Structure 1
Amino acid sequence: MSISAEPTPIEYIEQLLDEQRFEEAESLLLEQLNRKKNLAAVYNALAIIAIESYQDYHRAEKYYKQAIDYHENSSTLYFNLAILYEQFLDQPLEAMSCYEKAIELDSNYVDAYINLAELCIDLNHDVERAFSCSQRVLELEPNHARNLNNLGCLFIKYKNDAQSAIPYFEKSVALSTNPATALANLADAYVRAERYDEAKEAYEKALELDSDNPLVCHNYAHVLRHYFQAYDEAASYYRKAIEIDPYSLVSYQGLRSLYAHNLHDSKSAVEVLVSALAYFNEEEGLVLEIANMYDFELNDYKKALHYYERVLEINPNNLLALNALAYLNVEIVKDYLVALDYYLRVLEVDDETPSTYVNIGHLYFYHLSDYQLAKRYYLKADARIQGKKSPIKYAGELYYNLGMIYENYLSDEYHAIESYEKAVSLGQDQNAQKKLISLYTHQSSRIH
């Protein structure tokens, strides 16, 4: 009969950690530190407990640094500290420094090279460093699937070289135990290389392995839409991407564009964007886009007014919404005082654009019959037009109206003639010409 040996204290602590009995393990580790302070392995284990049991990442950082103080040549400790900085403390530059230290201590540390390369890729930082790390791993482990995928990403992202990327992705797919990510990247590379049938097949295989990847669903929808004209199938993948990640606006926009431009269904297109408001209700640009679609594409002015007003709730100084509300209140609602209020709010934000003064002048001239105020705003527009080097298309109407005000309401023939002449000088304005001829004739008869 043989008796199995009792585990050593270190083995027993490792067993407790494996079984996630963290409190017992921590108690034994602290007992060891009471007996001897310079135990790097103990501080390393305490850091693991701080992460996994307490989610106290700053305490873990302190333990790792204490461990390094007692074992400053440990590449593993620097690697562990880098992981902490990268994944838990959101300190990528500190993480990079620790990965580099781990590599300095162990020039064959494959995982450190790979993590450093991926961090460089994610941060768009020191691309050549990422390439050199990946090339080093290629020397150490030519068949490392993750590294091959990284090399493909580097060629795609920074060299814009899909042809060079494809063999790396293909090899990564062949070697990986879970090739979903490499397949998705391979599909993207095939698209860039205009190998659309192969891209379609790769996307389908990637989704078989990882059906809940919203980016892959979105990219596959894009390919189905643009290269296979499979609009219904594309719509289903856009919807799936939205269902998986409703906080990614890009898939809503893809589905909206499909309905609007491929299926010519503006109503469904705007409904997609309205559904996005459940997650992006403060997204000014989205609300404005919805308002514009109701206004210009669907002629649903009631809803357009509603969404333009929502834009102003988000940003009271949005000039596009203020101008649209002013215009709709003039042309559709016929509430000229409300329109005037919106135009005056436009001036509070931008008092240099001539068209706003022209629009206010038109309001007073055509609808409110206040010709003095109409003249005042037309003249303010004229003062700003004089500073413009390029021609202003609405200036002719402005000067014609000024002439009408001077002639018919202010009995000022001199300025009427001056205004009509300006209108005529801007183009073939027959009404202004007739007015000028009439006034010239009238003045001539008065002289004789």
Structure 2
Amino acid sequence: MGNPKAFLTIPRQEAGYRPVHDRISDYGEVEQTLNTSERKLQASRCMDCGVPFCHWACPLGNRPPEFQDALFRGRWAEAYQLLTETNDFPEFTGRICPALCEKSCVLNLSMEAPVTIRENEAAIIEAAFREGLVKPRHYKRNGKRVAVIGSGPAGLSVANRLNRLGYAVTVFEKLEYVGGLLRFGIPNFKLHKPIIDRRVRVMEEEGITFEVNHAVDLDQLPEGFDAYCLCTGTPQARDLNIPGRDLAGIHFAMEMLAQQNRVLAGQTFPDEERITARGKHVLVIGGGDTGSDCIGTSNRQGALSVTQIEIMPKPPVGHNPATPWPQWPIVLKTSSSHEEGCERRWSLSSTRFIGENGRVCGVEVEEVEWLPAPDGGRPQMRPTGRKEILKADLVLLAMGFLRPQLPALPENVFVAGDVATGASLVVKCIASGHRAAEEIDRYCTTGER
């Protein structure tokens, strides 16, 4: 630690977002960057805690005190080496991770100004690519082959780790591009897709084979592999089966988000298949990150209005005694998309869709109350009888995803990512890929699981 008092003299400085009036007209990344000098100053705020809770909170076991000290001293190559020992894809997590590490930072507890760990991480990997530090490496092969089914963050993580260990890895992707959730689920304004392409090129040069447009039947896995890893995510979205669900204009969130990303990649769709918010009143049902992404996309498409409703109560602002430090705080989150224009409401349950000429034109909602459970378990929901109708020409369902039910799998088949745990974070999927790669290596070398 170069300056043990930096956290007292240097305030937290975030790069921030591009101005709303500027970013709302395009799909470029909304987050800005600091210059090198400012970034080094931010890294100097890390106190190198004796017990680093940032390390404890990170699913990958990243070591922020170490790579931030190297960053502060201007040792970018060393910072890159330290960072990538634990994190295969800092260019992804540095953009879209909610930064569990920062919420557990001691400076978050003491002054509500944690070190900008996520932004520092992104700065390190971008400097590494810019300065030619990211070079394909070639590993001695061990003669064994592994098939990875799915190319999302978990699949890429498994493939990368096994390739380093000498396995010949083939990644099978049922869609037309590599990336899974990163490619189709996350808008370009949060993760520019050439960032994925750049990493995939490195992985290909290191010997990993990618087979796109190649769906795999779990009952007939490709032959010729010593082990398999299923990384197929949670493709089934949670539905809302209430009266009127069959009306036109009601879509799963991922249908809209994936199509928009395809459009930006150059694909075209007939007017009758195009899902667009242009000139419409949009209702997003679901208050999570996917719902937020729908808001940002709808505003960019030219929505007349956007409303987001959530069945759960409004979270506390700033602090929540139920989730004290160093836990992840359950508090009100305002994303860049929310800032761009959206009405947000809580404790609303949807009771029926209302249509006109076969298309949705509104949703009847009812206020609900959440009461503490007598046994201290999950709170109980109680309808209040207070109903109203919200105008909506386009309804986007963003209520989460269902965990897949897998058949009995052979001994040499492993699972990683959301397909194993249910929907989670990209950083957790990468960490799950690490664990799966270790399990596969142990199985292939010892025969034990």
TM-score band w.r.t. shorter chain: under 0.3
Higher helix content, 1 or 2: 1
Could you state the TM-score of these two structures normalised by the residue count of structure 2?
Answer: 0.23
Q: Radius of gyration: which is bigger?
A: 1
The one of the two structures with greater contact order (alpha-carbon pairs below 8 A, sep at least 6) is 2
Higher strand content, 1 or 2: 2
Could you state the TM-score of these two structures normalised by the residue count of structure 1?
Answer: 0.23
